[in-house]
Amino acid sequence: MPDVLKPPSLMSSKRVLCVQPHPDDMECSAGGTIALLAARGATVVYVTVTDGAWGAFEPVDPAELAETRRREQVEACQVLGVEEIAWLDFPDGQVPPGSGHVLCRHLVSLIRSYRPDCVMTVDPWTPYEAHPDHYNTGLAVAAAVLFSGLAAAHREEGLEPHSPEMVAFAVTTRPNTWVAVDEVWERRTRALEAHRSQFSTPAGEVQKTLLRLQAEELARRGRAAGKLQEGVTLAEAFKVLSPLHLHCNWEAHKC
């Protein structure tokens, strides 16, 4: 049983589809890992689900902010080595729930089109996550990873089934995979700072400090678990699961 439930190897991925609820979510949660994968020759594609038009504390025109965030995301992707971005343009704050809704169908189509071996997103089962865009996106991704390999599912797209080897959930409380990101932290930071509308404010500076502290804590936990070498000071962590884990598998949380 342990061998069957062993999580796939994230860093062996050659084609990665990163599905983020908003512009900047992947930079915040997995920017270092994405930079490492791209540097190793992996093809990395982003899918940004919403337009990010609600992402401001001060009064701002939502349409202008959405355009600004799109430009910022392009710049951040250039820093990390991301090759392509797909924009779904759901209204910010309004990603609908349910695995059968239009988002899941979009994602099945994208998985079958790009045929990734890894799909990366935010963990919808993170306790106390209050943003519906995050948990609804994560749940839709999990369902899409499961459905995309089923020949009878969502055949209206007219694409051949494709089952990714794994889904990697970032921002997770149950990681089984740690990635040392010391060597790419400066690049990760530059990608994050490309999102000037989010991180050039006082609140953004606090967020950057928190992200650094979290990376230090993840490195400490990874070293303690024997998953990272001594000397690693910054890390990102993921819950990596195969499609086998995503249906009727009550032991998946232990993997």
What is the residue extent of each domain of the chain? 10-245
Name 86's bridge partners.
47
pLDDT attached to residue 2: 56
Predicted pLDDT of residue 38: 98
Q: Mean of the per-residue pLDDT values for the chain?
A: 93
Tokens 């992402």 label which residue?
55
Name the pLDDT band for 99 (thresholds 50, 70, 90): low
Given the DSSP bridges, would you call strands 177-180 and 118-122 parallel, antiparallel or unpaired?
unpaired
Helix (H, G, I), strand (E, B) or coil at 238: strand
Q: Does domain 10-245 have CATH number 3.40.50.10320?
A: yes
- The pTM score is 0.94
What are the pLDDT digits (tens) for 178-236?
999 999 999 999 999 999 998 888 888 899 999 999 999 999 999 999 999 999 999 99
pLDDT at site 201 = 84
Residue/partner pairs of 58-64 with CB below 8 Å, 24 or more apart: 58/201, 62/92
**Which is nearest to 167 in space by CA: 198, 194, 142, 134?**
142
pLDDT of residue 158: 77
pLDDT at residue number 203: 83
pLDDT over 90 at 93, yes or no: yes
